[in-house]
């Protein structure tokens, strides 16, 4: 049986005309392409008609004879006159264009500088960061009748960077995500412009470990760290510059569900999943505790319930999860916090940071107030006693024996503050 090669030219020629194999064939192909190009130019720039050709002038004869040549020159000139070719790529690594007062120009029109960097192919992560931060400063100096978020949105800084991202290769896309300073600043502008769908698309690209292009794959360890940081910065930006707490909660819960649905296909431990998603959930929970309840009351019940469900499934048995139900806009529930207080010991409480102990005291006081408002005095008394015991044990363990009198005074002061909630 005769063997055939898949690389045989005769076999491939049936699918597509063969490429030139000799210098003569190459010249013939070049001549054919040149003739085709000139015919197209002649259609775009036709030769003068017969009446014009009858005029015996040297200029007309020359133009008629060389119409294709003139058309070619005109076509090339129109290309070279494009704004992209008029940019002088005299840009340093800091993102400053060469010439007089580059710092002043960066401060006054940073996104115009960015446009020129894109046109000249000179975008670096430091240059991009400089442009975005300069634009953020300009937004803070906006007119009094214009809010910061509105000024940021009008600059279209996020849209410009997003457009550059989608048009860039995989190397440039990776460059953007290598700088958290750049992405965190960019996310503020994206929130102001309402580009939540783009944020969600980028989060999906991160968790699938593929930023696009021919070499857009990222390592698994990099993916987890990048996703956690990007999600936390995104919800923080949405809270301050975007649509507010409701939009931030929605972004977080949808991102968590998307992450868990995709990461299940990869060998990632559940504990690692918790660490990836913890920063964003913690930031939102602290914001809910620290900010006026009027804003939290505006959150739709369904949105808050979904956030509460995600937190309880990701971080069960933690103070974070126990606090969230207490601030439910329609039905605050102190029960989970009371159960949490019963489960912790004085030794564990003593290992907490000062910030965590302060937060625990605040939410416990809020829980006692809610119980009193609901007429549940027995539960309020039980919670107050548990909190008093933790405070006593912690103070006695943390102060020397010779300062026992001081310990009693501090006990009385701290417990006196707690007693206000019961009066």
Q: How many CA atoms lie within 13 A of 112 on its CB side?
A: 8
Query: What pLDDT is stored for residue 130 in this prediction?
Result: 96
Partnered with residue 210 across adjacent β-strands are 217
Q: Position of tokens 């070619």?
A: 72
CB of 254 within 8 A of CB of 200? yes
Angle at 273 between CA 271 and CA 277, to 5 degrees: 120
Query: What 8-state DSSP symbol labels residue 19?
Result: P
Query: What 8-state DSSP symbol labels residue 266?
Result: S
Partnered with residue 217 across adjacent β-strands are 210
Query: What pLDDT is stored for residue 410 in this prediction?
Result: 38
Length of the chain: 423
Write the CA distances from 384 to 74, 228, 290, 364, integer angstroms: 87, 36, 21, 8
Provide the greatest CA pair distance for the chain: 120
Query: What pLDDT is stored for residue 12 in this prediction?
Result: 46
Q: How far apart are CA 189 and CA 151, in angstroms?
A: 10
Query: What pLDDT is stored for residue 266 in this prediction?
Result: 53
Collect all residues with Cβ–Cβ distance below 8 Å to 57 and sequence separation of at least 6: none
Q: How far apart are CA 129 and CA 232, in angstroms?
A: 19
Digit-by-digit pLDDT tens for the chain (423 residues) are 555 554 454 554 554 556 666 777 777 777 777 777 777 777 766 665 555 444 444 444 444 445 656 666 766 666 655 545 545 555 554 445 455 577 889 999 999 999 999 999 999 999 999 999 999 999 998 777 789 999 999 999 999 999 999 999 999 999 999 999 999 999 999 999 999 999 999 999 999 999 998 899 999 889 999 999 999 999 999 999 999 999 999 999 999 999 999 886 555 556 777 889 999 999 999 999 888 678 898 999 999 999 999 999 999 989 989 999 999 998 899 999 999 999 988 888 889 998 889 889 999 999 999 999 999 999 999 999 988 888 876 555 554 443 344 334 434 444 454 444 444
pTM (2 decimals)?
A: 0.71
CB of 372 within 8 A of CB of 418? no
Nearest one of 195, 266, 185, 166 to 230, comparing CA atoms: 185
Query: What pLDDT is stored for residue 77 in this prediction?
Result: 66
The alpha-helical segments, DSSP class H, found in 14-57 are: 23-44, 50-53
- The pair of structure tokens assigned to 39 is 């015919």
CB of 189 within 8 A of CB of 135? yes
Query: What pLDDT is stored for residue 61 in this prediction?
Result: 46
């Amino acid at each position: 049986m005769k063997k055939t090669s898949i690389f045989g030219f005769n076999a491939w020629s049936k699918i597509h005309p063969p490429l030139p194999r000799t210098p003569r064939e190459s010249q013939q192909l070049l001549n054919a392409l040149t003739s085709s190009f000139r015919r197209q130019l002649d259609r775009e720039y036709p030769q003068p008609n017969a009446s014009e050709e009858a005029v015996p002038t040297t200029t007309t004869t020359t133009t008629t004879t060389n119409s294709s040549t003139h058309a070619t020159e005109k076509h090339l000139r129109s290309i070279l006159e494009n704004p992209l070719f008029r940019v002088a790529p005299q840009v340093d690594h800091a993102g400053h264009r060469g010439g007089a007062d580059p710092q002043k120009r960066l401060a006054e029109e940073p996104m115009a500088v960015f446009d020129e960097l894109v046109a000249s192919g000179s975008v670096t992560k430091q240059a991009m960061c400089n442009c975005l931060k300069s634009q953020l400063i300009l937004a803070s100096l906006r007119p009094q009748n214009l809010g910061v978020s509105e000024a940021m949105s009008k600059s279209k800084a996020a849209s410009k960077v997003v457009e550059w991202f989608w048009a860039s290769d995989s190397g440039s896309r990776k460059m953007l995500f290598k700088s958290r300073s750049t992405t965190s600043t960019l996310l503020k502008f994206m929130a102001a412009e309402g580009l939540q769908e783009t944020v969600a698309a980028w989060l999906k690209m991160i968790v699938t470990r593929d930023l696009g292009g021919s070499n857009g794959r990222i390592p698994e360890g990099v993916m987890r760290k990048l996703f956690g940081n990007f999600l936390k910065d995104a919800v923080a930006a949405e809270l301050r510059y975007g649509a507010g707490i409701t939009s931030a909660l929605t972004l977080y819960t949808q991102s968590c569900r998307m992450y868990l649905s995709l990461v299940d296909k990869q060998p990632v431990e559940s504990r690692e999943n918790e660490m990836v998603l913890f920063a964003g959930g913690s930031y939102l929970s602290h914001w809910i505790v620290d900010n006026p309840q009027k804003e939290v009351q505006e959150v739709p019940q369904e949105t808050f319930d979904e956030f509460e469900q995600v937190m309880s499934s990701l971080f069960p048995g933690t103070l974070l999860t126990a606090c969230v139900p207490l601030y439910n806009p329609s039905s605050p529930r102190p029960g989970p916090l009371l159960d949490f207080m019963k489960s912790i010991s004085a030794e564990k409480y003593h290992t907490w940071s000062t910030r965590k102990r302060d937060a625990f005291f605040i939410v416990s006081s809020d829980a006692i107030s809610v119980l009193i408002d609901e007429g549940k005095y027995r539960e309020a008394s039980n919670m107050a006693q548990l909190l008093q015991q933790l405070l006593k044990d912690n103070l006695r363990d943390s102060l020397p024996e010779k300062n026992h009198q001081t310990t009693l005074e501090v006990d009385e002061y701290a417990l006196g503050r707690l007693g206000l909630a019961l009066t």
